[in-house]
Amino acid sequence: MAKKKIVSIEDRIPRLKQERKKKANRRLIFYLSVFFILISIIVYLQSPLSHVKTIEVDGNSYTSDKQIKELSGISDDTNIWMINEEDVVRTVGKNPIVKSVDVSKDFPWTIKIQVSEYDYVGYIKKNGNYFPVLGNGSILADLKKETANGDAPIMLDFSNEKYLKNMANQLNKLPDSILKLISEIHWKPTDDNQNKILLYMNDGYIVDGTIREFAEKMKSYPSIVSQIQPGKKGIVHLGVGAYFEAFKKTDGQFDEKQQSEESTE
């Protein structure tokens, strides 16, 4: 039977001391590493290295990049880590032209602001100038034009802001194909119907309608005019029912009614 080698305590002590020293050194290196990492983070956060250097704005047509940046509250002195995206979305969204906002960070120092704006659905005429009207009823007072572009209807006689906004909201629901057919919209309130409107169409017809549920009723317009005899002009009535009333060739009055198969009920 082999004899076990006996190691004296004197031989083991130097080896234990060496192992303890290695463990202590590793622990010291770990703590020093953590310490320097924390110091580096603190220095980075307090230095211009963590500041925003670029603000990219996209999706805006009516609002300038400068206006969006000012609303966001972000500048070259803003720490990118301190930016709250929800706060930026809320402040930029206060602009009545802006429909939605999306904010993202592109490290190390870029902020991206993607906006979606309301489309303009018409022009309002004031003091001889034309101002774009957005789908939410807001008027772009800074974008006055001497003439309308013809890419959206002119809204006339809308002296009441409430009915202007209601009309704009309805136009915003219309398909572009129908919206582009409208040349002018006149507000013609009566004692019985404050929502009464008269439309002049680019295809030569006139539409007698109402602001209430206008978008839904107007969707039947292409089908109604497709049933009218070529060359015959008149008024398309869009009320409880939908029908066509032709003009007299002599004095512009009405001489016949053509009941449409379409109905807005």
Tell me, yes or no, whether 131 and 251 share the same domain: yes
Record the pTM.
Answer: 0.66
* pLDDT tens-digit readout, 181-191: 999 999 999 99
What pLDDT, on a 0 to 100 scale, did the predictor assign at position 49?
A: 77
What pLDDT, on a 0 to 100 scale, did the predictor assign at position 146?
A: 86
**C-beta separation of 172 from 143 below 8 A:** no
Average of per-residue pLDDT across 73-82:
90
Tell me, yes or no, whether 196 and 141 share the same domain: yes
- Sign of CA pseudo-dihedral 180, 184, 185, 191: negative
Count: domains in the chain: 2
User: pLDDT exceeding 70 applies to what percent of the chain?
Assistant: 85
Q: How far apart are CA 52 and CA 73, in angstroms?
A: 12
Maximum alpha-carbon separation in the chain:
137
Whether 200 has a pLDDT exceeding 90, the answer reads yes
In a domain, 65, yes or no: yes
Query: Could you list the residue range(s) of the whole structural domain that residue 154 is in?
Result: 120-259
Whether 252 has a pLDDT exceeding 60, the answer reads no
Whether 86 has a pLDDT exceeding 50, the answer reads yes
User: pLDDT exceeding 90 applies to what percent of the chain?
Assistant: 54
Whether 249 has a pLDDT exceeding 90, the answer reads no
For residue 171, report the phi and psi dihedrals to the nearest 5 degrees: -60, -35
Whether 260 has a pLDDT exceeding 70, the answer reads no
What pLDDT, on a 0 to 100 scale, did the predictor assign at position 258?
A: 42
Tell me, yes or no, whether 156 and 169 share the same domain: yes
pLDDT band at 10 (very low <50, low <70, confident <90, very high): low
Residue labelled with tokens 């019985």: 192
Closest C-alpha among 156, 111, 22, 258 to residue 102: 111
What pLDDT, on a 0 to 100 scale, did the predictor assign at position 34?
A: 83
Average of per-residue pLDDT across 163-173:
95
Last residue in a domain, options 101, 117, 133? 117
Closest C-alpha among 69, 101, 107 to residue 85: 101
What pLDDT, on a 0 to 100 scale, did the predictor assign at position 11?
A: 57
Of residues 237 and 250, more confidence is placed in 237
Tell me if residue 175 falls in helix, strand or coil.
Answer: coil
Tell me if residue 99 falls in helix, strand or coil.
Answer: strand
Whether 235 has a pLDDT exceeding 80, the answer reads yes
Tell me, yes or no, whether 158 and 191 share the same domain: yes
Tell me, yes or no, whether 113 and 167 share the same domain: no
Tell me, yes or no, whether 110 and 186 share the same domain: no
Closest C-alpha among 167, 55, 189, 76 to residue 122: 167
Tell me, yes or no, whether 138 and 83 share the same domain: no
Last residue in a domain, options 73, 90, 117? 117
Whether 261 has a pLDDT exceeding 60, the answer reads no
In a domain, 17, yes or no: no
Tell me, yes or no, whether 81 and 182 share the same domain: no
What pLDDT, on a 0 to 100 scale, did the predictor assign at position 56?
A: 95
| Residue 132 belongs to domain with CATH number | 3.40.50.10960
What pLDDT, on a 0 to 100 scale, did the predictor assign at position 28?
A: 80
In a domain, 25, yes or no: no
